[in-house]
Amino acid sequence: MVDRLAARLNLTDAQKQQAQSIFAAARKSAQPLRAQIRQNKQALAAAVKANSPADIDRISNSMAPLLAQASAIRSKAFAQFYATLTPDQKSKVDQRFSQRATGRHNWQGRHRNAGA
């Protein structure tokens, strides 16, 4: 991920090192959550195969806080990374956020790949 960000934003070596440190710390703190989420996904798949609506609801509800925590970890890490950017780099990131919010980015990506 850092390599893609570095290429898109023309990060300096110092920014790359900061990004690697920030995202590595986030991965480390999210590791226990990922294991729990993986277990819940397996349990959810078993509940689907067993056609057990009650278990599907129970497992899905137990996954919600885990997914929220994982999202918060990712968002906080990105906020730290964003703070290291220059105004020009922030502008590029802001454009990307804007494209994703409007769905334009996703549509263009699928459209480009549709002919491939």
Q: How confident is the model at residue 111 (pLDDT cuts 50, 70, 90)?
A: very low
Q: Which CATH number belongs to the domain containing residue 15 in this structure?
A: 1.20.120
Report yes or no on 37 lying in a domain.
Answer: yes
- The reported pLDDT for the residue numbered 114 is 45
Q: Is the pLDDT of residue 113 over 60?
A: no
Domain that holds residue 8: 2-85
Report yes or no on 78 lying in a domain.
Answer: yes
Q: What is the pLDDT of residues 42-95, one digit of tens each?
A: 999 999 999 999 999 999 999 999 999 999 999 999 999 999 999 999 999 998
Report yes or no on 98 lying in a domain.
Answer: no
pTM of the model: 0.74
Report yes or no on 28 lying in a domain.
Answer: yes
Least confident of 27-36, 44-53, 82-91, 102-111: 102-111
Report yes or no on 73 lying in a domain.
Answer: yes
Q: Is the pLDDT of residue 102 over 80?
A: no
Report yes or no on 109 lying in a domain.
Answer: no
Q: What mean pLDDT do residues 22-30 have?
A: 96
Q: What mean pLDDT do residues 32-38 have?
A: 94
Report yes or no on 111 lying in a domain.
Answer: no
Report yes or no on 25 lying in a domain.
Answer: yes
Q: How many folded domains does the chain comprise?
A: 1
Q: Look at residues 72, 49, 48, 73 and name the one whose alpha carbon lies nearest to residue 58.
A: 48
- The reported pLDDT for the residue numbered 98 is 83
How high does pLDDT run on average in the chain?
88
Amino acid letter, residue 76: K
